[in-house]
C-alpha cells in the first residue's frame, strides 16, 4: 500500500514516490542535503505499509477481537445498532479492516453514524438477504476541519493529517463489494459484518441478523476453522451413527425449530451463542466461568449470562436507583429482578416497600423504590438484584 494523493486533497505536496514492490525498508539521510517533504512521506509510507501488512498476516483481511462493530437487530424501523464499547478509547469496540484498526467507543446506529448511509427499505414482497459491511479508507484532513494544525508561532500549517474514515453500508439484496479505488484515487478496504434477512416488515429484529465478522483470537480462529470444516465436510469426515467426526452447527432458525436430528444443538447451539460466550471470555470470565460473591456473574455454555449484586444504600421514600450492569450483555437483557433489604435497626413491622423497574437495556436498568399508601417510614439497608440475558 502507498499513500496515493487523492484528487480532492488540498495540501501542498511535491510528490509521493513510495512503491512497495521496490522493498525499501528505511530512509538513509545524507548530511548537508535539503530535507524534502517526499522523504518524510515515504518514511511514513514504509512504516504504515509494514504495520498494515503485518497486522493483516495475523488478523486476516478483517475481524474483531471483541464485540466491536457487531450488528444487532434492536427492533428499530429500517435501522440497527452497531455495537461499540464502554465509552472510552481503552474499552472501545475494535474492528480490523485491511490491517487498519477502527475503534468505536460507544454503541451507535446505522442512521446516527458519522457518515450517514442512505435510507433502508424492506422488500415489497417475500424475503431478501441484505449484506452489512464496513467501508474504510484513509483521507486527508486539513486545518479547516482541525484548526490545531495551524502553528500559533508561524501562523501557518506545516503539515496535514491522514485520517482513517469509515462508513457502515448495506448492500440490499446483494453481497459486499471487493476492495476498490474510488474516483478520487483513494483505496477502500471492505469488511463484511452481517447478513440481515429482511421481510416486508420495516422492523429489524435480533433473529433477522446473522453475524459475519471474523474473530481475532485463538479461540475464535479455532471455532472458525471447525465451522469451515463442518460446512463443507472436505477436510474432515462428518459424524454419523457409524463413525465419529464433525457435526454441523445449527443456525438460529434451526435451533429454534428444533426439528433437525442431524445438527448440533448443545452446548453451542448457534453462532450467536458462541459469540456471546467468547465475548464474556474477554474480561477473564470464560465459558462456564463463575465469578462468585455477593456481586458476581456466571457465563453458561448455552450463551446465557447471569449477573447479580448488592447495592448498599440507606434510601427512604419513593426514589429511583440507576443500576449499571458490571458486564454489558452482548445481545440483550431478558429479565431483571430486585428486592429491598430492610434495616433491622429500624422498625420494620410496617415497612411495606417494594421495587419496580423500567425495561432493561444491555447495559443497565432504572430501579424504583416504592412505598404503598399507609406504609411506615424506615430507611432500607440495601437492594439485592439479579439480571439474566445473553
Range in 56-65, 104-113, 233-242 with the lowest mean pLDDT? 233-242
Instruction: Mention every residue, 6+ apart, whose C-beta is less than 8 A from residue 367.
Output: 320, 321, 322, 323, 338, 355, 356, 357, 383, 385
In the chain, the percentage of residues whose pLDDT exceeds 70 is 73
What per-residue confidence (pLDDT) applies to 10? 75
304-389: CATH topology is Immunoglobulin-like (2.60.40)
Position 181 confidence tier, pLDDT thresholds 50, 70, 90? very high
Tens of pLDDT, residue by residue over 53-80, are 888 887 778 889 888 999 999 899 999 9
pLDDT digits (tens, 9 = 90+) for 14-66: 888 888 888 888 888 889 888 888 888 888 888 888 888 888 887 778 889 88
Q: Please check the confidence at residue 340 and state whether its pLDDT lies above 90.
A: no
CA-to-CA distance for 245 and 264, rounded, in angstroms? 12
Nearest alpha-carbon partner for 216 in 275, 267, 136, 154 = 275
- Cα four-point dihedral sign 326, 222, 81, 257: negative
Residue 245 banded pLDDT, cuts 50, 70, 90:
low
Domain boundaries defined on the chain: 20-211, 218-281, 304-389
The pLDDT score that the predictor gives to residue 129 is 93
pLDDT at position 280 over 50: no
Nearest CA to 279 among 113, 86, 118? 86
User: Is the pLDDT score of 270 beyond 50?
Assistant: no
**Summary mean pLDDT of the chain:** 79
This prediction's pTM: 0.56
How many residues are listed for the chain in this entry?
390
Provide the 3-class DSSP secondary structure of residue 135.
Answer: strand
Residues 271, 251 contacting (CB under 8 angstroms)? yes
Strand-pairing partners, residue 137, are 165, 188
Distance CA(113)–CA(135), nearest Å, equals: 13
* Choice between 328 and 130, residue whose per-residue pLDDT is larger: 130
| DSSP single-letter state for residue 308 | E
| Contact assessment for residue 138 and residue 3, using Cβ atoms and an 8 Å cutoff | yes
Cα(82)–Cα(94) distance, rounded to whole angstroms?
A: 12
**pLDDT at position 372, please?**
65
What number is the average pLDDT over the span 297-308? 84
Across-strand partners of 386?
308, 337
Amino acid at each position: 500500500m502507498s499513500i496515493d494523493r487523492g484528487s480532492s486533497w488540498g495540501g501542498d505536496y511535491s510528490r509521493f514516490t513510495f512503491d512497495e514492490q521496490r522493498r525499501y525498508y528505511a530512509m538513509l539521510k545524507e548530511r548537508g542535503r535539503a530535507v524534502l517533504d517526499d522523504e518524510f512521506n515515504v518514511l511514513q509510507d514504509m512504516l504504515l505499509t509494514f504495520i498494515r501488512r503485518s497486522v493483516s498476516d495475523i488478523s486476516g483481511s478483517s475481524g474483531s477481537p471483541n464485540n466491536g462493530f457487531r450488528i444487532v437487530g434492536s427492533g428499530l424501523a429500517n435501522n440497527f445498532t452497531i455495537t461499540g464499547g464502554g465509552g472510552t478509547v481503552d474499552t472501545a469496540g475494535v474492528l480490523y479492516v485491511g490491517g487498519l484498526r477502527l475503534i468505536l467507543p460507544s454503541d451507535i446506529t446505522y442512521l446516527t453514524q458519522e457518515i450517514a448511509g442512505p435510507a433502508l427499505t424492506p422488500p415489497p414482497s417475500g424475503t431478501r438477504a441484505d449484506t452489512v459491511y464496513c467501508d474504510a479508507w484513509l483521507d486527508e484532513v486539513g486545518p479547516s476541519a482541525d484548526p490545531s494544525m495551524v502553528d500559533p508561532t508561524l501562523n501557518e500549517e506545516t503539515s496535514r493529517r491522514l485520517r482513517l474514515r469509515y462508513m457502515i453500508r448495506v448492500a440490499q439484496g446483494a453481497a459486499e463489494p471487493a476492495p476498490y479505488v474510488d474516483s478520487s484515487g483513494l483505496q477502500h478496504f471492505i469488511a463484511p459484518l452481517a447478513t440481515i434477512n429482511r421481510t416486508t416488515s420495516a422492523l429489524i429484529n435480533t433473529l433477522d441478523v446473522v453475524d459475519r465478522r471474523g474473530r481475532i483470537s485463538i479461540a475464535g480462529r479455532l471455532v472458525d476453522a471447525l465451522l469451515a470444516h463442518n460446512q463443507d465436510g472436505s477436510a474432515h469426515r462428518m459424524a454419523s451413527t457409524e463413525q465419529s467426526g464433525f457435526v454441523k452447527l445449527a443456525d438460529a432458525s434451526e435451533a429454534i425449530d428444533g426439528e433437525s436430528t442431524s445438527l448440533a444443538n448443545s452446548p453451542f447451539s448457534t453462532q450467536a451463542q458462541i459469540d456471546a460466550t467468547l465475548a464474556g471470555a474477554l474480561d477473564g470470565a470464560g465459558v462456564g466461568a463463575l465469578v462468585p460473591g455477593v456481586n458476581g456473574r456466571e457465563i453458561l455454555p448455552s450463551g446465557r449470562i447471569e449477573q447479580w449484586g448488592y447495592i448498599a444504600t440507606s434510601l427512604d421514600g419513593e426514589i429511583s436507583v440507576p443500576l449499571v450492569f458490571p458486564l454489558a450483555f452482548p445481545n440483550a437483557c431478558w429479565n431483571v429482578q430486585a428486592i429491598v433489604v430492610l434495616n433491622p435497626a429500624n422498625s420494620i413491622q410496617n415497612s411495606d416497600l417494594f421495587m419496580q423497574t423500567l425495561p432493561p437495556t444491555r447495559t443497565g436498568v432504572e430501579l424504583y423504590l416504592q412505598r404503598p399508601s399507609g406504609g411506615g417510614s424506615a430507611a432500607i439497608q440495601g437492594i439485592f438484584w439479579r439480571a439474566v440475558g445473553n
